[in-house]
Chains A and B, each alone.
Chain A
Amino acid sequence: GAVVSQHPSWVICKSGTSVKIECRSLDFQATTMFWYRQFPKQSLMLMATSNEGSKATYEQGVEKDKFLINHASLTLSTLTVTSAHPEDSSFYICSAREGRQRTDTQYFGPGTRLTVL
């Protein structure tokens, strides 16, 4: 099946620093990538949707200046958490979809655990 990787798998950073998380589709071209975050014992919450070559669409309540998303190629999207604070500590998961239909399968990465001290 299709494989999506994320790097790093975990990161610890100091408050005020920026952290970049990469999401790659390894064996297919992803026209659309999604970024989610998950707090303990809660569901995955969609943060933003990005299509290759265009600006990301952010969900209500997600600060676009804080969570910068770049989808520069069909196999790579990055999420940069700028000026991270302890409340940004969470599990961030990306997914990638090859087709443009909403019924096309989203393939998920393994997630990145971010801890902000």
Chain B
Amino acid sequence: DGGITQSPKYLFRKEGQNVTLSCEQNLNHDAMYWYRQDPGQGLRLIYYSQIVNDFQKGDIAEGYSVSREKKESFPLTVTSAQKNPTAFYLCASTKPRNTEAFFGQGTRLTVV
């Protein structure tokens, strides 16, 4: 079945380490997004990409990096520069002509 796959579901890292979260979609969607969600709060945009090899900063890009080498993949790296990385991370993609957005199941990152 087509969909968006985020892995892993849970991730633990030591403070100061970089970590990469995976997001893969087989929906043939052009645009992909990364959001961060903190407890009891909404979704804040980290990065988004409309096409391969192009991406834009969202509202809270500092301490994060992304790449878009393939249409299907949009990995997010949480760097050691991110002051408070513990959060729930959600990846989304939108249909051609950018209408409805679909989400992965999320990755809960805990930094200890």
**Binding partners A and B:** no
